[in-house]
Amino acid sequence: MQKINTAALFKGERRALAKAITMVESTKAEHRVLATQLLNQCLPHSGHSLRIGISGVPGVGKSTFIETFGLFLIGLGKKVGVLAVDPSSPLHGGSILGDKTRMERLSREERAFIRPSPAGRSLGGVANRTRETILVAESAGFDIILVETVGVGQSEYEVQSMTDLFLVLMQPGAGDELQGIKKGILELADFIVVNKADGEAARLAKQSEIHYKNAINFLNHQGFWKPEVLSISSLESKRIENLWARIQAYCDSGLEAIPARRTHQASMWFERLLSEGVTDLLRTDSNWLRNYESVKKAVSEGSIAAPQAASDCIKPLKDAMNN
Ligand X SMILES: Nc1nc2c(ncn2[C@@H]2O[C@H](COP(=O)(O)OP(=O)(O)OP(=O)(O)O)[C@@H](O)[C@H]2O)c(=O)[nH]1
Nearest to 163 by CA among 220, 78, 83: 83
Question: Interface with ligand X includes 233 (CB under 6 A)?
Answer: yes
What 3-state class would DSSP assign to 267? Answer: helix
Question: Interface with ligand X includes 101 (CB under 6 A)?
Answer: no
- The residues in 266-305 that bind ligand X, with binding defined as CB under 6 A, are none
Measured from each CB, the residue nearest to Mg ion is 63
What 3-state class would DSSP assign to 108? Answer: helix
**Rounded to an integer, what distance in angstroms lies between the CA atom of residue 73 and that of residue 63?**
15
Q: Residue 166 is which amino acid?
A: F
Q: How many residues bind ligand X (CB under 6 A)?
A: 19
**Rounded to an integer, what distance in angstroms lies between the CA atom of residue 158 and that of residue 116?**
16
Which residue's CB is nearer to Mg ion, number 99 or number 109?
99
**Which among ligand X, Mg ion, none contacts residue 109 (Cβ within 5 to 8 A by kind)?**
none
Per CB under 6 A, the list member of 24, 82, 147, 150 interacting with ligand X is 150
Nearest to 224 by CA among 248, 247, 255, 187: 255
As measured in angstroms, the least distance from the Cβ of 32 to ligand X is 31
Q: Residue 273 is which amino acid?
A: L
Which part of the chain contacts ligand X (CB under 6 A), choosing from 95-103, 119-127, 213-221, 315-323?
Answer: 95-103
Question: Interface with ligand X includes 63 (CB under 6 A)?
Answer: yes
**Rounded to an integer, what distance in angstroms lies between the CA atom of residue 235 and that of residue 245?**
19
Question: Interface with ligand X includes 196 (CB under 6 A)?
Answer: yes
Per CB under 6 A, the list member of 13, 109, 143, 198 interacting with ligand X is 198
What number of other Cβ atoms are within 10 A of residue 138's Cβ? 21
Which residue's CB is nearer to Mg ion, number 14 or number 100?
100
Which part of the chain contacts Mg ion (CB under 5 A), choosing from 6-14, 16-24, 63-71, 291-299?
Answer: 63-71
Question: Interface with ligand X includes 99 (CB under 6 A)?
Answer: yes
Kindly tell me the burial class for residue 42, based on how many C-beta atoms sit within 10 Å of its own C-beta (0-12, 13-18, 19 or more).
Answer: buried
Per CB under 6 A, the list member of 117, 195, 208, 231 interacting with ligand X is 195
Which residue's CB is nearer to Mg ion, number 62 or number 111?
62
As measured in angstroms, the least distance from the Cβ of 184 to ligand X is 19
What CA–CA distances, in Å, run from 98 to 14, 24, 103, 116? 21, 22, 10, 9
Which residue's CB is nearer to ligand X, number 53 or number 254?
53
Give the list of residues 6+ apart from residue 317 with CB closer than 8 angstroms, or none: 282
**Rounded to an integer, what distance in angstroms lies between the CA atom of residue 82 and that of residue 106?**
10
Question: Interface with ligand X includes 124 (CB under 6 A)?
Answer: no
Q: Residue 142 is which amino acid?
A: F
**Which among Mg ion, ligand X, none contacts residue 143 (Cβ within 5 to 8 A by kind)?**
none
Question: Interface with Mg ion includes 63 (CB under 5 A)?
Answer: yes
Which part of the chain contacts Mg ion (CB under 5 A), choosing from 56-64, 83-91, 233-241, 280-288?
Answer: 56-64
Question: Interface with ligand X includes 179 (CB under 6 A)?
Answer: no
Nearest to 18 by CA among 28, 32, 33, 8: 8
**Rounded to an integer, what distance in angstroms lies between the CA atom of residue 37 and that of residue 4?**
10
As measured in angstroms, the least distance from the Cβ of 25 to Mg ion is 21
Per CB under 6 A, the list member of 130, 160, 163, 234 interacting with ligand X is 234
User: What sign results for the dihedral spanned by CA atoms 202, 189, 154, 73?
Assistant: positive
**Rounded to an integer, what distance in angstroms lies between the CA atom of residue 152 and that of residue 89?**
13
**Which stretches of the chain bind ligand X, using CB under 6 A?**
56, 58-64, 95, 99, 102, 150, 195-196, 198-199, 233-235
Residues that bind Mg ion (CB under 5 A): 62-63, 99
